A and B are shown apart, each in its own frame.
Chain A
Amino acid sequence: MNKPFGSIVLDISFRYLVPFILMYGIYVLIHGEYSPGGGFQAGALLAIGIILARLIQGEESSFNISGDTAVILAGLGTLIFAGVGVISLIWSGNVLEYGVFPLNVHKESELHPLGILGIEIGVTICVAAVIIAIYDALTRRDDAI
């Protein structure tokens, strides 16, 4: 990570842009309740950060996610979404009813943003992984797609 790669423009743009884009993706995810943004945009921003790192550094990038791992992560995100939706059935609520979670909060309405955040985390992981998987399939070297 300490050795330079490519020209100085690529070096500086990688070291300044990629952490900013990744942190902005996390901010859009967490703050999506109160401002424009949400799970889809946050996932696309995280995927843009990882794709930018891979465009600059190539296959041996510092934090590269291969296509097979991306497909597994997409399934994991869908599982988180479905799990948060279904787990409220245990405490005899409806699907996606967040008010029945047995957490210690002051008001019951505070549980709603928590449930939305769980859903959005699943959406973020799924969208980012699917975008990386599509990019990996487009730039794969061998002819067998």
Chain B
Amino acid sequence: MLELSMLTILLFLLVLTGVTALVVRDILAAIILFSAFSFFAVLLYLVLGAPDVAFTEAVIGVVSTVFFVAALKKLGRRYVS
């Protein structure tokens, strides 16, 4: 029962952060929301009992966030036109 409720909460947060990252106008906010989406995916994998996949997802979430911020700095604008 505890595991089911944790799964429900995590899936709800996953959908919430994912949809918000799609519709938000600020690109930096979208990047940070995508990082939060990645972190909730890590927690979901841990609850489902796959620590190897969770470890990979955590590392790749950090690397992709750094990449997105670097690309945003090169892009020169902050908002979706």
Report if B56 contacts A (CB, 8 A). yes
Given contacts A36-B52, A37-B52, A41-B55, A139 and B63 within 8 Å (CB-CB): no
- A38: nearest residue on chain B (CB-CB)? B52
Cα distance A36–B60 in the bound complex, in angstroms: 15
Min CB distance, A13 to chain B, in Å? Answer: 15
Tally of A-B Cβ pairs under 8 angstroms: 35
Report if A135 contacts B (CB, 8 A). yes
Contact of A45 with B74 in the complex, beta carbons under 8 Å: no
Cα distance A134–B63 in the bound complex, in angstroms: 11
Number of interface residues of A (CB under 8 A): 16
Mostly, the A contact residues are helix
Report if B11 contacts A (CB, 8 A). no
Report if B66 contacts A (CB, 8 A). yes
Cα distance A139–B71 in the bound complex, in angstroms: 7
Given contacts A36-B52, A36-B55, A37-B52, A44 and B67 within 8 Å (CB-CB): no
Given contacts A44-B60, A48-B62, A135 and B55 within 8 Å (CB-CB): no
Residues of B within 8 A of A139 (CB): 70, 73-74
Which 3 A-B residue pairs are closest in the complex by CB-CB distance?
A36-B52, A44-B59, A138-B70
Contact residues of A with B, CB < 8 Å?
A: 36-38, 40-41, 44-45, 47-48, 51, 55, 131, 134-135, 138-139
Task: Give 13 CB contacts A-B under 8 Å.
Answer: A36-B52, A38-B52, A44-B63, A45-B59, A48-B59, A51-B66, A131-B63, A134-B67, A135-B66, A135-B70, A138-B71, A138-B74, A139-B70
